[in-house]
Structure 1
Amino acid sequence: MKIFSKEQIYEGDRLTAERQNITSTDLMERAGTQIFNWMHARMQGAQVPIHVFCGIGNNGGDGLVLARHLILDGYSVKTYIINYSDKRSKDFLVNYERIKNTTKDWPLLLTDAESLPEINPNDIIVDAVFGIGLNRPVVSWVKTLFMHFKASKAFTLSIDIPSGLFVDKPVEDEDAVVYAGFTLSFASPKLVFFLPETAKYTVQWEILDIGLDQEYTFITQTETELISKYEVLPNYRPRDKFSHKGLFGHSLIIGGSYGKIGAVTLASKAALTTGAGLVTNYVPKCGYQILQTAFPEAMVITDASEERITAIDYDIEPTVIAFGVGVGQNTETVKAFETFLKTNKTRLVIDADGLNILSKNQSLLELLPPESVLTPHPKELERLIGSWTNDFEKLDKAKAFAEKHKVILVIKGANTITIFNNKQFVNTTGNPGLATAGSGDVLTGIITGLISQGYHPLSAAIFGVYLHGKAADIAVDDTGYESLLASDVINNIGKAIVDLFAQPEHQEVAQQAPEAQ
């Protein structure tokens, strides 16, 4: 699913009106009616007090259309105009006149924090104060109104985006943003629904189709895409009846050190479970018996050293190489990695201490083959690209880093974001159970296993992140979040692949807000 920028949404509105020969007021009527249809389908006439708070721009105009339809259908509605400026949009004024002609109970004009209405916990708040066009701080009395919403504990439905939330810059004052229980978003979700600092402002979201021009939405390229089953399914590579293991590549996992052979075990199990034809582990001698016992399906090559990697020397021809899981940062290991990079031409997946070695020896980044996949968690990312002050700066720095070094950057966390060629792909699977030891090693193995089979590294990263999260989502049905182990994720990779082809029992469009992993 494409995530449009606000400029692209504005252009979509303009072209829709032009190509469908309708006015912007007609498009607003369509949007407000869709919101009403959504609410009416769920409320079925229930007489719950509904407070519709409308700004004086187009978001407020949407709210006025909704309020008018609610009134005409007999709902218990109070409408308020948040008079934060003396400027009004044209379409707001049109719909203000329409609602005045609909009811004798005209919208109440709010101009300060002294006359805020009483809102009870069982009421419903509709937030239509600010839309995506907000570009300046919220005035103090409107901030007080938003705090009043939160204190009331009433269910809050935001229109398009929680008011006070910017689509393209960070929040400066958390009290100046509406905390929405649900957001009905036009055209596409907003990137801020998925970022760690701003996801908390909406618990759930859903897209409302307001009939934007289909040609425009189809051909318009976006910087950000949201990845779900329907985005990864076309990339799936089915197997032919006469397939054999030689067709699915040979993954080499280089890593491990004394006491950390488990990381290699998890990565290699994940690679083979995802479909790699062959997996070989390159580990210190201390890992030989462990791996031959714990994972007999994999082959093992050992370093001359008992406890760490001191040289990387093998006589196989791997399709893809993963480096870093459990490897440590010993001086001999760093030197071995540098020597290896100077001659290696095979595609790489780098994680854990491999990333830490690169961050401390950034000249080695120039030796990485193009389209190498790097999978940092937030602290590893900070070591690579430097610190940031907010999520937008983090993404900008990550894109610049990926572009400079021609790598694919997988930023792990809730809604893991994969970055390549100035595009970002936001994942929708996964849960807080993944905050457990070894889950990153499993992801490394999954991505490695996909590249081994012939998936392009970018497709492998996007697909791998999806499968990793989906396997965890399936596993927690039995384990719960706290008891999920990395091994449970591996054991459910197959179910995650099978689920790609499962038909849902019912269509569920609403999306749960991201949770920390």
Structure 2
Amino acid sequence: MKLFSKAQIYEGDKLTVERLNISSTQLMEQAGTQLFNWIHTRMQGAQVPIHVFCGIGNNGGNGLVMARHLITHGYNVITYIVNYSDKRSKDFLEHYDQIKNVTKKWPVMLSCEDDFSEIQIGSDDIIVDAVFGIGFNRAAKSWVAELFQKFKASKAFTLAIDIPSGLYTDEAITDDKAVVYANYTLSFQSPKLVFFLPETAKFIGQWEVIDVGIDRQYLKEIKTEVELIGKHEVLPLYKPREKFSHKGNYGHVLILGGSYGKIGAVQLASKAALSTGAGLVTAYLPECGYHSLQTAIPEVMVITDASEKEISNIEFDLEPSVIGIGVGLGTSEATVKTFEAFLKQNSVPLVIDADGLNILAQHQDLLQYLPKGAVLTPHPKELERLIGSWKGDFEKLEKVKAFSKTHEVIVLIKGANSITVDQDKLYINTTGNPGMATGGVGDVLTGIISGLIAQGYSPLTATIFGVYLHGKSADISLEDYGYQSLIASHIIETLGEAYIDLFKQPEQPKVAEASNK
């Protein structure tokens, strides 16, 4: 799914008005009507008090349209105008006049804290937040921030229109108290990037996209910098197997890592590569890991380093399709030296994780030796060591994009919504759950991405597809283990089910059979 920027949404509105030969007021009517349809379908006339708070711009106009339809359909509606400026949008004024024609209870004007100090909002009521929209680009006035805090204190169900008021679409916020905490957000045409970032996702609650009628041709043709990756996006990436293929058709993964006490990381990555579909997998690890790995995964071949407890001299005579390096590797002086020597002579595609990233962070001159399209998979602390600290999520993204362009690498920012960064493009994953916050899960991901590259997927496609499968497998495992008991091995066990799920059709609701009695 494309995630449209603020500028693209504005351009889409403009083109829609021109191509469909309608007014912007009519386009707002369409949007507000869709909002009404959404809430009407769910409430079916229930007489719960609905408090609709409208700003004085276009999002406020959307709220007025919805409120007008709620009123004419007999709902218990109280409409408020949050009068934060002396400027009014033309379309807001048009719909403000229309709502006054359908009710004797004109909207309540709010211009300061005293105006809402006596307003009673019960915990069983509904708040509709249509105060600010995507054009909001300045700090909310203190009395407006107090109003938002009143929303939160009421514990009423809060429905945000397009975006929770107070959030910016393209920069970090400075005051949490000046933002609406929504339980549900109805986003116009596509979700926003801020819905998926650690610092701002907490304001969104659940979200859903509302089609407000922007020109289809424009939406199809416009290219976006951000894409949301779900089942429909990864299914076309899948490569089916040929009947007469053999293991040589699906590549050879070399997992290079491990040190005394961390051989399990290599086991997890190796088994994940196999379970993802790699034709062959070889593990390169210190001597201390030989027997445990051969016993744990008989399908994996093993090469041992001359050293007993660490990697100190990387030498092999095979020709791998891809090398996953860094899991459990350690950062001893000997390991750093052999890692440097390896990078300088390597031309094989790389997936780099864990201590491989930590060595690169400590010796950034080595970045010049990374092959084009190398995949780096840092967790937040590893990322900070690699690119330096950041002040907010947007600065983090800009720094990662710059890093990706400078070194011509793919960077996976791991998190609740892992983001694959390929220069200026962002791909946001939608699978996964909090049960994945446990040791070894990153090692599994290294194996999955490596296994996909071995099968002929490009590094970018392998990362996007691999992150999806990784999270989907964890979601499937969650059904049996729950958040607390989910471990990395479970994710490997359900990778097959994650593949199969790509082709499952949504279950149709069952229709009860008529009784013969």
- What residue identity is the alignment partner of 1:126? V
SS for the counterpart of 2:483 is coil
Alignment of 1:441 onto 2:435:
no
Alignment of 1:4 onto 2:4:
yes
SS for the counterpart of 2:324 is strand
Matching residue within 239, 245, 248 for 1:246: 248
Q: Which residue of 1 aligns with 2:263?
A: 261
Q: Which residue of 1 aligns with 2:93?
A: 93
Q: Hey, what's the Cα distance between the residues in 2 that align with 1:340 and 1:8?
A: 45
Alignment of 1:295 onto 2:297:
yes
Q: Which residue of 1 aligns with 2:488?
A: 486
Q: Hey, what's the Cα distance between the residues in 2 that align with 1:433 and 1:158?
A: 29
TM-score by length of 1: 0.97
- Tell me the percent identity: 68
- What residue identity is the alignment partner of 1:150? K
Matching residue within 232, 235, 239 for 1:233: 235
CA RMSD of aligned residues (A): 0.7
Q: Hey, what's the Cα distance between the residues in 1 that align with 2:213 and 2:236?
A: 25
Q: Which residue of 2 aligns with 1:307?
A: 309
Q: Which residue of 2 aligns with 1:145?
A: 147
TM alignment of 1:179-328, pairs within 5 A: 179-328=181-330
SS for the counterpart of 2:205 is strand
In the TM superposition, residue 211 of structure 1 has moved relative to its aligned partner by 1.4
Q: Hey, what's the Cα distance between the residues in 1 that align with 2:280 and 2:271?
A: 11
Q: Which residue of 2 aligns with 1:514?
A: none
- What residue identity is the alignment partner of 2:75? Y
- What residue identity is the alignment partner of 1:65? V
Q: Which residue of 2 aligns with 1:22?
A: 22
Q: Hey, what's the Cα distance between the residues in 1 that align with 2:172 and 2:275?
A: 40
Q: Hey, what's the Cα distance between the residues in 2 that align with 1:389 and 1:134?
A: 21
Q: Hey, what's the Cα distance between the residues in 2 that align with 1:268 and 1:218?
A: 40
Q: Hey, what's the Cα distance between the residues in 2 that align with 1:35 and 1:505?
A: 27
Q: Which residue of 2 aligns with 1:78?
A: 78
SS for the counterpart of 1:180 is coil
Q: Hey, what's the Cα distance between the residues in 1 that align with 2:213 and 2:77?
A: 27
Alignment of 1:32 onto 2:32:
yes
Q: Which residue of 2 aligns with 1:513?
A: none
Q: Deviations over 1:391-438 (max 9, x none)?
A: 000000000001000000001011000000210101000000010000
In the TM superposition, residue 506 of structure 1 has moved relative to its aligned partner by 5.3
- What residue identity is the alignment partner of 2:153? A
Q: Hey, what's the Cα distance between the residues in 1 that align with 2:388 and 2:176?
A: 25
Alignment of 1:64 onto 2:77:
no
Q: Which residue of 1 aligns with 2:402?
A: 400
In the TM superposition, residue 115 of structure 1 has moved relative to its aligned partner by 2.6
Q: Hey, what's the Cα distance between the residues in 2 that align with 1:240 and 1:26?
A: 53
Q: Hey, what's the Cα distance between the residues in 1 that align with 2:269 and 2:390?
A: 30
Q: Is the 8 A contact 2:191 2:209 kept in 1?
A: yes
Listed as ranges, the gaps of 5+ residues in structure 2 are 510-517
Q: Hey, what's the Cα distance between the residues in 2 that align with 1:407 and 1:242?
A: 35
Alignment of 1:496 onto 2:505:
no
- What residue identity is the alignment partner of 1:103? T
Q: Hey, what's the Cα distance between the residues in 2 that align with 1:182 and 1:234?
A: 31
Q: Hey, what's the Cα distance between the residues in 1 that align with 2:245 and 2:72?
A: 64
Runs of 4+ in 1 over 6 A off after TM superposition: none
In the TM superposition, residue 203 of structure 1 has moved relative to its aligned partner by 1.1
Q: Deviations over 1:243-299 (max 9, x none)?
A: 111000000000001110000000000000000000000001111101100000000
Alignment of 1:132 onto 2:134:
yes
Q: Which residue of 1 aligns with 2:165?
A: 163
TM alignment of 1:422-437, pairs within 5 A: 422-437=424-439
Matching residue within 365, 377, 380 for 2:379: 377
In the TM superposition, residue 308 of structure 1 has moved relative to its aligned partner by 0.5
Q: Hey, what's the Cα distance between the residues in 2 that align with 1:278 and 1:135?
A: 53
